[in-house]
Chain A
Amino acid sequence: MKTLILGEILNETLSSGTLEIIKKAQDENLDYQVLTIGSDDAPKIGSESFKQTYIKRSSDSLQFSKITDLITNIINNEGINLILGSSTYLCRDLVSFISVDLNSSPVSNAIDFEISGDTVSTINSINGGESLYKSKIASTHALLLIRPKSFDPADVELIDNFETIEVESSDVSIFDIYKEEKTGPQLEDSKVVISAGRGMVDKENLVIVEELAAKLNAAIGGTRAIVDAGWMPYSQQVGQTGKTVKPDVYIACGISGATQHQVGMKDSKYIIAINKDEEAPIFQLADLGIVGDTLNVIPKINQNL
């Protein structure tokens, strides 16, 4: 099946979400090409093993409609039937726009898909990962938004040789670009993640989580509730509307475990939960559950490491 993978760039190379979809395409023996959208001048995103086209946008204007026109044209001209993108801000936007052009509703939050003949079937996770929802796509085009960490990333050697298409500027100009500082271990690839929830009571108390994270070389995450409350930037949110993590060890501090949060962390290899409420749903997921006050337990761990 002729397939288009929408790629994204992170740190001047293909994002892990993109590499994960490439791996799945390789495993399924799909006839795929990658079309990567970004604003970097010289990213390393080409490969000997697949066709890469770089759609280079400028970072000073929103160019969605022009980029969409370009992608729809490529899909139509090349007879592409399957379009795959990661569930990220950019791909969610682009796949949605393209779905209107192709008159084919996309499947969001897919965690896997299979192909039999000309038919694509998808699996998505619903109710915060408590159930799997399977459906079959009946239209000519199948558009899938795939949750990060659904597949292992492909191991490909990336080169700086690929075709580039420059996109014209639009009249919606962008100003005040702010890049969140990324220091220390990152949520996506850290072996240990420590997350905080409402049970931490106050933003000031996050300092004990930071101390533990420093000792364990861990990344720090948070629930939607504390991100909405302004305790942490959105980039640290773990859950349905935030990041999906799969570390070796996940330590949930004062997190009740709403389904919104569970979907982002339930596949962690070993889960430690500390919460006052012994009925908290997080204990269902935990390998080791401590019913107690996070604010008492963590400082003692810090003292004894």
Chain B
Amino acid sequence: MNITVCAKQIPDPANDTSYDNGIIVRPEEQVLDDTDRYGIEVALQLKEKFDAEVTIISMGPAGTMKGLQQALQMGADKAIYVDDDSLKGANSLMTANVLSELAKTTNADIVIFGTESTDGYSGTVPQQVSRFLKLDCISYVKALEIGDDVSLTRQTSEGSEKVKMPPKCVISVTAGGVEPRYPNFKDIMAAKSKPIEKVELDKLNITTEQNLEFISIEALENSKNGETIIDEGEAFQVIVDKLKELKVI
């Protein structure tokens, strides 16, 4: 079984995101998007059962490749990526186009994603990739049970439902569904010798283009300058009085 997992390198979420002409500014050192750890974990659980090879695919400025290393440290076997200036500020469809072409080069049976990235959070790329690859999309997976078959539990607006994982499909995994593993020292050392290969964009069949023109970013003034009270045991009374004034009680 070939399993391909998409991993995105993003600016450290602990820092504020900054934009240049509508495009997220990416430092040399980016980290693995936490959202992708869930997808990688699902891939590794499948690998343990079905003896699969797990390939990481990624698009974006490679920089120090710290994020890709982090994905390999968890236990993926190798990584391939596209880093091309013409993709700067690529929309979700272009991104999905590139990633689905990369997935084709790995002969992927199962392609796994987090549901949405932490920096752009468009939340559409896994589904778009499935349509490009003409595969079923099992979206918002929040649990899996691996036996002879694999059953996937999908989050729905009303609750959840289970489906049997088809032999070929695209899966998106929600945060919290599985517990991503932490690499130990041995894993971290082993990752250093795993292959990371750059794929040139002109080797891929790209049929999409930019369709969104940036106009502006406006900061909102969210601060309300409300009243702040340090509780010395009686602050509850202020809330009770306020709830009465607001006619909530």
**Interface on A for B, CB 8 Å cutoff?**
8, 10, 59, 62, 64-65, 68, 87-90, 92-93, 95-97, 99-101, 103-109, 121, 126-127, 129-139, 145, 170-180, 191-192, 215-216, 224, 227-230, 234-235, 240-241, 248-249, 251, 262, 266, 270-272, 274, 278, 283-293, 296-298, 300-301, 304-305
* Contact status of A96 and B212, CB under 8 A, knowing A131-B220, A290-B238, A304-B236: no
Per the CB 8 Å criterion, the residue count for chain B at the interface is: 78
B222 and A266 within 8 A (CB): yes
A90 and B92 within 8 A (CB): no
Please, which residues of chain A bring their CB within 8 A of the CB of B242? 272, 288
* Contact status of A293 and B231, CB under 8 A, knowing A132-B218, A174-B162: yes
B127 and A278 within 8 A (CB): no
A224 to B235, CA, bound (A): 27
B236 and A300 within 8 A (CB): yes
- Point out the residue from B92, B128, B223, B235 that lies within 8 Å of A292, measured CB to CB: B235
The binding surface of chain A is classed by DSSP as mixed
Closest A residue, CB atoms, query B242: A288
A291 and B248 within 8 A (CB): no
* Contact status of A106 and B92, CB under 8 A, knowing A93-B137, A134-B215, A176-B162: yes
B226 and A288 within 8 A (CB): yes
**Interface on B for A, CB 8 Å cutoff?**
16-17, 22, 91-94, 96, 115-116, 121-128, 130-132, 134, 136-140, 142, 153, 155-164, 166, 169, 174-176, 207-208, 210-220, 222-224, 226-231, 233, 235-240, 242-243, 246, 248-249
The binding surface of chain B is classed by DSSP as mixed
B227 and A105 within 8 A (CB): no
- Point out the residue from B214, B233, B246 that lies within 8 Å of A248, measured CB to CB: B246
B164 and A173 within 8 A (CB): yes
